[in-house]
Copies of this chain bind each other. A is one copy, B any other.
C-alpha cells in the first residue's frame, strides 16, 4: 500500500491538515514546512488517493474525453495521436486523462451524464463541435468544466482552442488570387464540420472581395481521404463549365488524391493547374511521396497543450475569456503555384 497523509504527518511531526496544505501549496504554510512535507512525501513514496481527494473536495484530478460513436476509419489514426497528445499533456500537469468510447447507439449527452454522476471526472475535452452543441449545453447546465477542440460559433461562450479557419480558407484562396487565378476549386472536409464551414466562408469572401463570382460547382465536401480528393478533382475538371485553373485541398490526403487525379488527366502541377493545401502535419501518413505543396500549415499536435491548459483553467475557475485561444498558422511557398496558363 501507498503511504497516506497520516504517515507523512507522523514522520514530520506535523498535523495531517498542515501536510495536506503544504503539499497542495496553500499559502498559510511556511516555506520550510512545505519543503519538509515534500521531502517526506517523496521519501515515503506518497501518492494522493484520488478517490479520497475527490470525495472530500469534489475534485478527482481526472479529466476525460468521450469518443463519438461513429466509426470513420480514416480518422482513427488521428484519434490515437490525439489521445497520446492529451494523455501526455495532462499527465505533465499532474492530471489523469481518460478516454471513454461511446457505444454505437448511445447518446453522447447521456454518456457524459453517466461519467459525471459516477462522480469521477472533473471535466471534459470535447471534439467535433456542432452548432448549438447539446453536450456543451448539458455540461454548462450542470456546471461541469469543458474545453472544445475547435468551436461551434465565431465567438462561443465556452473555453476552446481552435485555429482561425476562416483565415485559412481566405489565405489559401489569396495565394492563388495573387498568382492571377480566377477559377479556384476547393476540395473541403465533411460538410457538417465547423472547420470546413469556416474555411468555405474564407474562400467565399476572398473571392467576393476580389470581385469574382462564387461558383458552387467548384466546391466539394467529403471525407478527407485520397479517393475523395481524386474523385472531386475528376468531377471538377470534367465539368461542363470552364475548368478551374487552381485547386485548394483541405488537407494533405485530399491533396494526394488531387495529384493522382491530375496525373491521370495528364495535367502538370503547377504548369497546367496550381495546387495549394492546408497541412495538419499529421505524422505517419506516409506523404513523403507528395510533391512540395504551397499553402497553410498548422501542426495539429500543437493543440494538446493549450487544450490541457484551458481545461485546467476552467476547473480552477478562471474566467472563460482567458481560456479561449486561437492558434496561428504559417503560409508556405513551395512551388506548386504558377500563374494560370
Contacts and interface: CB of A to CB of B under 8 A. Distances in A.
- Say what secondary structure dominates the interface of chain A: mixed
Contact of A51 (B51, B76, B97, B285): B51
A139 to B, nearest CB: 15
Oligomer copy total: 2
B100 A84 contact: no
The winner among A51, A91, A103 for most chain B CB atoms within 10 A is A51
Contacts of A76: 76-77, 79-81
A73 interface: yes
A83 interface: yes
B52 A119 contact: yes
Given A51-B55, A51-B60, 18 more contacts: A2-B117, A45-B117, A49-B55, A50-B118, A50-B119, A50-B120, A51-B120, A52-B55, A62-B120, A71-B84, A73-B286, A76-B76, A80-B80, A83-B99, A87-B103, A91-B103, A97-B100, A98-B98
A178 interface: no
A48 interface: yes
Contacts of A45: 117
A243 interface: no
Q: Which size class do A's interface residues fall under?
A: 35 or more
Nearest to A65: B99
A36 interface: no
A250 B115 CA distance: 39
Given A73-B77, A100-B98, A118-B47, A67 B84 contact: yes
Closest 4 CB pairs of A and B: A47-B117, A87-B101, A73-B284, A51-B54
A150 to B, nearest CB: 20
A270 interface: no
A187 to B, nearest CB: 20
9 contacts: A2-B119, A45-B117, A49-B118, A50-B120, A51-B55, A51-B119, A60-B120, A80-B101, A97-B100
